[in-house]
Structure formats: structure tokens, C-alpha cells
Structure 1
């Protein structure tokens, strides 16, 4: 169960209790979401919001070690074992240098080519369950959204889940990043580095490519940036017959994800309304805004 009181102060207390070699009181808070991310000196610590994230944290460390052995440019773990504090997982990472510039889609494509060329690791990767959080997000939305919209998204979820399970891929399935966005690429002095390894999965490689195609249509990505992404990767996922299915699944999940923020947040309610209306109307070009 989620720790409703997972505040910055609570996360600092857990960091101290874990015995991590960071000054819990003075470390810089970089992010506070599913993990509280702190940095000090050459280290970064990720404190999990809830105890149920323990297995995911362990898997992320195994993935980091595997990527290091495979010479994939990715964030490196500073410790191979998860620390625990009151059941919450804490992992330690080497801090990356300040970014040279913002990452672009072509930088992401360069890393995806490397990841997609990897064979399966010597441990099991989960499937990429895009739609697994839909019910929880709709439940958190409560009466801040129209129950008819919630039912509509549930129906879409079930339909796209069944359709996705029946897809015939163009690429050979295997390891994927799972959340392939430029924000998960860090441009260091030696080039692009992959970060945020929590969503690594073993599934259709097309999952990682549909994200950028959706960004072109929904989030205002410059067509030239998309062209550079396709050129660097070497294939345009829009040529694949199954693209619309994975796109529909991701849109459904993205719409439901915004819904959870609707209670008490007018901007989230407005964005949810924009998204669900465009899905109902079958208009794939309505602009969505990152939230």
C-alpha cells in the first residue's frame, strides 16, 4: 500500500535509517514521486515510496549490472544490493556529470539500437504491462471525473489489451527500455547515457518506438526530430500494421494516468477532459500537453 505520508522529510528519515553514505539532512532532493531521489557528492540515492517496490529495485540493480557487462552506456549502480529502511528500498547510484545539452529523439534512438540488439539476460524480465495501472489511476480519480469516462477507459483498456496480445511483431521481441523518452537520456561528455532503468522489460521492441511516434502526433514533436529518430534507428514503426494497437494502448494509459491527478487539480481535470474527448471522437491529431 502506498505511503500517503511519503514526504521529503519522511524520505530523508528513511535515507538516514538505511545507513546510506549520503548526508540525509543536507542531500539535494532531485525528485519526489514513486521514489525520492537525493544527491550528494558523487552519489545518488533512490528511496522507494512503498515497500512493494523492493522487487523492482532489486531487478533494477540487476539490469544495471547486466547493462554494464554489455557495455551499454547507462547509469551505473554504486552498490549491488538494496538497502532497507522500515521496509522501503534504497538504492545507490553513481552521480552523472551535469548534462552537456538536452537529449533529443535521435540520441534516444542511438541507445535503443544498442539495447534492442541485446539478447535476453540471464534473469527474467517482466512483460511491458502498459495498461496495468489504469484501474488504480481511475480509482484515485474518484468522483473528480465522469463515471462514464472511467467506464469508457476500462472498455478501451480491455479491448487494447486483447488486441496487443494478438499482435505479430515486425522486430524480434527482446529487452526494451519500456519508457523510451528523451527525458530518460542524459547527455554526458562521452555522449548519451540511458537512465531510469525501472521499466526495462522483455517484450515487443515496437513498444519503445511507438512512444516517439505518439509524441509526433499528440505532443507537438518537430517532424524533423522524428525523421532524425527514424533515420538513426533505421526503421519507422508507423509502417507496421500493429502500430495503431500499441499507440491506442499507450494513449489509454496516458489518459488514465492524468485522471489520478484530477482531484483538487483543475489543470489535470482540463487535460483529462481534452484527452478523453479526443479518444471518444477518434481524432488522433488533437494536441495533448505533458502533465
Structure 2
């Protein structure tokens, strides 16, 4: 799905107002008539869209600051799930690591919701992303990532957590926090899961190691949360699994974006060479 296709889906869903593209990743995200509209890449994401809306309602009831849904169920248009959200006020400042930690603490304190949350299978999307990449990526690179996925799947399943398992955000990064006049709120709830709380913390450790997050910013995160996941013996395993998924995720953009293809190749090369410090670029 490209931007033109996503705009056609908006029209099919009955959203005919002026649409401003805000982001294009796992979903195409538009501002339309004072709302935020997310268009999923394919019909197979309908169940995930339904769960994201349920999560938003649950967090609202639990008092956790998070984005709120404008409609309780997705629309299915031209084979794509479409969800509508209330647009947040303009940000008063960028979100920092400490803002994220301040939201993760109450989220991690919640018991299970009254509906089923899936485990956080970091590696579940690898096959789909590589399929979307098609011939744009080297078949040997795709095979390497599939083998790496399979190896890490067994290691992740055998981990012993330090923290009590339960609800997590699943993609815990400052970019998924919006700081408006009322304070920070969580956004992008589609990966909310029930699993090891360490999943949410390894994301920031990887940001420090791969994406250039300064050491003092990482320290602000661990101080605000109250624990550094790098002290846990399972950290390297979760990090390796997330790196595998992050590499495959970029591949889906390779057919239409030369920059994505270059970044994919860079990431694969670092994994093949065992270079744990090569800088990756956010995409």
C-alpha cells in the first residue's frame, strides 16, 4: 500500500474531507476533519485494529493517560481496517525518556484487562514484512533474518523475567508519547500486549546502544522507572530479537524507498558481522 492507495481507502470509508498525511509506517496516518485516521496496510490487521480500540477504552477506564478512540469499532474499507481517533492538542514540547517512564510505571502496575491480550511476539511480523519487501531485498538477507528469527524465538520463550509479567505497551519509545497541555499521554496502542515487562525496557536500552540516545537521557529513563533492564541476564536475548524484527520491519519500505533499502542493508550487515555498536538510523 502506498499513499495514493491509502487515500483511496479513506474515500471508500466515507472520509472525504481534506486529508493531511501525518505518518506512513505500519499504518498510513492522516488528519481528517479534526480526527486522526489510521489505515492498516491489509485486511489481516483487522483483529489488531479491533484490539487497539479495546485497549484505548480500557486505559481510559483505568485512568492511564492515552489517546482516545473516536469510534468503538474499525471500519473495513477496500480490504483495509480504518480506525478513528480524537486528535490530541498540539504538543507543548518533545517527549523525553523520563515522560515515557512515567507512563510505563502505571501501565505496568495494571492487572490484566477484561479481554485477552496477545503475547508480545516481537518476531511475528518478520515473515509479513519480508513478504512485502519481495524482490527488493537480497534473498540471502531474507533467509538470514528468517533463520535468526527462528533461533531467537526459542531463546525468548525460555527467558526467566525479573519483573512480574503483565500488560505492556510493546513499542515503548518517546515517539509514542505526546506531551500536550495536560501532560504526557501514550499513543500508538496497537502493540499493547501481555508479556514480560522487560520488553518495554529493552526498547530504550537498544535506543542507547544502536540509535544514539545519549547516556544521560537513558539514565533519566532508568531513574524515572526505577530499574535498568541491562542488569538482567536476559537483556541480550530480548535485544537480539528486537534487532531482528527492527531490521525486517524496514524491509517492507524497500520496494518504494531507496533510503529504506540502504538502511536495511546496513542493519543486516551489522547483524551478520556481529557488530553490536554500528549506528542504526531511525526510519
Interval of TM-score (by shorter of Structure 1 and Structure 2): over 0.9
Aligned partners of 1:8 and 1:32 also within 8 Å: no
Equivalent position SS for 2:22: strand
Cα distance in 1 between the residues matched to 2:254 and 2:46? 28
Equivalent position SS for 1:46: strand
* Partner residue of 1:182 out of 174, 178, 187: 174
User: Structure 2: which 5+ residue stretches go unaligned?
Assistant: none
* Partner residue of 1:221 out of 208, 213, 218: 213
Aligned partners of 1:184 and 1:194 also within 8 Å: yes
Cα distance in 2 between the residues matched to 1:187 and 1:75? 11
Equivalent position SS for 1:31: strand
Aligned partners of 2:9 and 2:78 also within 8 Å: no
Q: Which residue of the partner structure matches residue 288 of structure 1?
A: 280
Cα distance in 1 between the residues matched to 2:275 and 2:24? 34
Aligned partners of 2:263 and 2:280 also within 8 Å: yes
Equivalent position SS for 2:13: helix
Q: Which residue of the partner structure matches residue 78 of structure 1?
A: 70
Equivalent position SS for 1:280: helix
1:200–1:6: structure 2 CA closer, same or farther, 3 Å change rule?
farther
1:145 aligns with 2:137: yes
Larger radius of gyration: 1
* Residue correspondences, number: 283
1:61–1:275: structure 2 CA closer, same or farther, 3 Å change rule?
same
Ranges of 4+ aligned residues in structure 1 off by more than 4 Å = 3-6
After the TM superposition, which of the residue ranges 57-66 and 205-214 deviates more from structure 2? 57-66
Deviations 1:100-135 (A, max 9, x none): 111111111111111100000011001111111222
CA RMSD of aligned residues (A): 2.0
Cα distance in 1 between the residues matched to 2:137 and 2:82? 35
* Partner residue of 1:13 out of 1, 11, 14: 11
* Partner residue of 1:56 out of 25, 32, 48: 48
Cα distance in 2 between the residues matched to 1:275 and 1:44? 32
After the TM superposition, which of the residue ranges 146-155 and 173-182 deviates more from structure 2? 146-155
Cα distance in 2 between the residues matched to 1:180 and 1:49? 22
Aligned partners of 1:157 and 1:252 also within 8 Å: yes
Aligned partners of 2:13 and 2:75 also within 8 Å: no
Cα distance in 2 between the residues matched to 1:89 and 1:256? 23
**How far off is 1:42 after superposition?**
4.0
1:92–1:144: structure 2 CA closer, same or farther, 3 Å change rule?
closer
Cα distance in 1 between the residues matched to 2:10 and 2:97? 35
1:127 aligns with 2:125: no
Cα distance in 2 between the residues matched to 1:8 and 1:264? 15
Query: TM-score, with normalisation over the residues of structure 1?
Result: 0.90
Deviations 1:67-122 (A, max 9, x none): 01100000111222333434533322221100011111111111111110000001
Equivalent position SS for 1:212: helix
1:93 aligns with 2:91: no
Equivalent position SS for 1:123: coil
1:54–1:70: structure 2 CA closer, same or farther, 3 Å change rule?
same
Q: Which residue of the partner structure matches residue 200 of structure 1?
A: 192
**How far off is 1:176 after superposition?**
0.5
User: Structure 1: which 5+ residue stretches go unaligned?
Assistant: none
Aligned partners of 2:95 and 2:179 also within 8 Å: yes
Cα distance in 1 between the residues matched to 2:75 and 2:172? 28
5 Å matches for 1:265-284? 265-284=257-276
Equivalent position SS for 2:39: strand
